[in-house]
Amino acid sequence: MRDERRITREQTRREREYGPYWYSALWQMIRPVLVWTCAGLLALGILTGAARSIRHRFFDAADTGNDEAVPFTVASGASLARVAGDLEAAGLISNHSVFRYYADLTGYSQKIQAGSYVLNRTMDMQKILDTLTAGDGKPLVRWITVIPGWTVENIAAYLVRENVISSEEEFLSLCRDASAYAGYYYIQDILTGGRTENRRYPLEGYLAPDSYEIYTSAQADDIVRKLLSQTGAVFSDDDFDRIGALNETLRMTLTMDDIVILASIIEKEAGADDFARVSAVLYNRLRAGMPLSSDATVKYVTGVTRLSLHEEDLQVDSPYNTYQRRGLPAGPICCPSSAAIQAALYPEESFMKAGQEYLYFCTREPDSGALYFSRTYEEHQQAVRHYRPLWEAYDEQHGKQ
């Protein structure tokens, strides 16, 4: 009994000092959690305050009370460092380094577009980046398309019509000055060979048809050079080997310029399906010493668009009139497609068999441009008599002059 009374007194003393046993054990468990929770809340408060301070200092608007417009320009090719420095100098951001790091981290650095913008100091960093990456609505580049068969005059008119350049004559004057583009070997070749004499435009035939992406700030000279460069890409080493093979087979002295001239006639005389056949006829006539008698070369000089040419049309005095002059015309009559160039390099062999050469063709379907080919003059004249009414009806219906 004495021991039990002693244990009871000790338990009573402990409960007075520490509380009941279960309460003491619970407190021992909860106290560390409360301590860490309080410490975490304190740290969170400190961090939140610091983050708010950092955001306010570096990321928020530079001056929420000043909404005055600030013109800002991002130059073409400007680095992110340059853009950030210019923004800080304009008072639009507080720290250029923070702007750079943030733009890099969020992936905006590669999306900033050159252009002219209107910003203000009430815009925060994110808003500024959103604006600079959206662009100013004025594209840096645009597309132009040069159609196969267009002349340099057609190209000039198109560029003015599309507001790419302001003056047709500026473009055409460049096309008359081959010496300014002597850096292109094919232009140098025609200069060296004296082949620019009597040509309306020495660059005719060498402004390759294609679709091009150009800067909106591009000048006429920039466009000429871009189109000229594409011509160099059209001709491969294999094509030059082919010219050599043609010369050996046909016993001719063809040059790249001759191929371009032939291709330009092919382009204007036929649809793609007949390119190689027309090529064969032209070669056959050259080898036979006959005039090419190409309506397209006459139309290039006179501007006539009729299918049915008149006798006076064929009498025009011009180095391009292949009814009056033998051999090739003075120069190309349009800018030919790569398909027409390939046809000039690879004429239809079946049309060139000895003793069975095709020497004539005429239009048999005005709407499609499909051609009728003949071996003899008599057969050709018969075809002309048969199809001429179709040509005249087509000219009248379409107002061709």
Query: Residues with Cβ < 8 Å from 253, sequence gap 6 or more?
Result: 247
Query: Residues with Cβ < 8 Å from 195, sequence gap 6 or more?
Result: 189, 257, 331
Query: Residues with Cβ < 8 Å from 264, sequence gap 6 or more?
Result: 204, 205, 332, 333, 334, 335, 336, 340
For residue 38, what pLDDT is reported?
64
pLDDT higher than threshold 80 for residue 160: yes
For residue 216, what pLDDT is reported?
86
**pLDDT (mean) for 161-184:** 96
> Crossing angle for the helix pair 125-134 and 96-106, nearest 10 degrees?
60
Residue 8 banded pLDDT, cuts 50, 70, 90: low
95 close to 140: Cβ distance less than 8 angstroms: no
Q: Percent of the chain, pLDDT > 70?
A: 86
DSSP 67: -
For residue 116, what pLDDT is reported?
87
For residue 52, what pLDDT is reported?
63
Q: Percent of the chain, pLDDT > 90?
A: 66
Higher pLDDT pick, 4 / 226: 226
Q: CA–CA distance from 388 to each of 30, 269, 380 (Å)?
A: 109, 16, 12
For residue 157, what pLDDT is reported?
98
pLDDT higher than threshold 70 for residue 172: yes
Residues 326, 323: Cα–Cα separation, whole Å: 8
Residue 47 banded pLDDT, cuts 50, 70, 90: low
| 99 C-beta neighbours (distance < 10 Å), count | 26
- Tell me the one-letter amino acid at 132: L
294 phi, psi to nearest 5 deg: -95, 120
Whether the domain at 69-134 and the domain at 139-234 fall into the same CATH topology: yes
- Tell me the one-letter amino acid at 16: R
Q: In 346-376, which ranges are continuous DSSP H helix?
A: none
For residue 64, what pLDDT is reported?
82
Residue 23 banded pLDDT, cuts 50, 70, 90: low
Residue 19 banded pLDDT, cuts 50, 70, 90: low
DSSP track, 132-152: HHH--S--SEEEEEEPTT--H
Residue 107 banded pLDDT, cuts 50, 70, 90: confident
**pLDDT (mean) for 279-306:** 96
**pLDDT (mean) for 167-180:** 96
Q: Under CATH, what is the fold of the domain 139-234?
A: Dna Ligase; domain 1 (3.30.1490)
Higher pLDDT pick, 232 / 25: 232
CATH pick for 69-134 out of 3.30.1490.480, 3.20.20.150, 3.30.70.890, 3.30.830.10: 3.30.1490.480
Length of the chain: 401
Domain limits of the chain?
Answer: 2-49, 69-134, 139-234, 236-401
Residues 117, 94: Cα–Cα separation, whole Å: 19
Please return the burial class of 213, using the count of CB atoms within 10 Å of its CB with bins 0-12, 13-18 and 19+. exposed
Residues 10, 288: Cα–Cα separation, whole Å: 136
For residue 348, what pLDDT is reported?
97
**pLDDT (mean) for 341-347:** 98
pLDDT higher than threshold 70 for residue 319: yes
pLDDT higher than threshold 70 for residue 183: yes
Residue 40 banded pLDDT, cuts 50, 70, 90: low
pLDDT higher than threshold 80 for residue 41: no
Q: What is the pTM of this model?
A: 0.73
For residue 350, what pLDDT is reported?
96
Higher pLDDT pick, 43 / 361: 361
Residue 55 banded pLDDT, cuts 50, 70, 90: low
SS3 content of the chain, % helix, strand, coil (to 5): 55, 10, 35
- Mean predicted lDDT score pLDDT of the chain: 88
| 147 C-beta neighbours (distance < 10 Å), count | 14
- Choose the weakest-confidence range: 6-20, 269-283, 385-399: 6-20
Residues 14, 369: Cα–Cα separation, whole Å: 116
DSSP track, 296-336: HHHHHHH----SS--TTGGG---TT-TTTS-SS-SS-SS--
For residue 379, what pLDDT is reported?
97
pLDDT higher than threshold 70 for residue 87: yes
**pLDDT (mean) for 281-304:** 97
For residue 7, what pLDDT is reported?
52
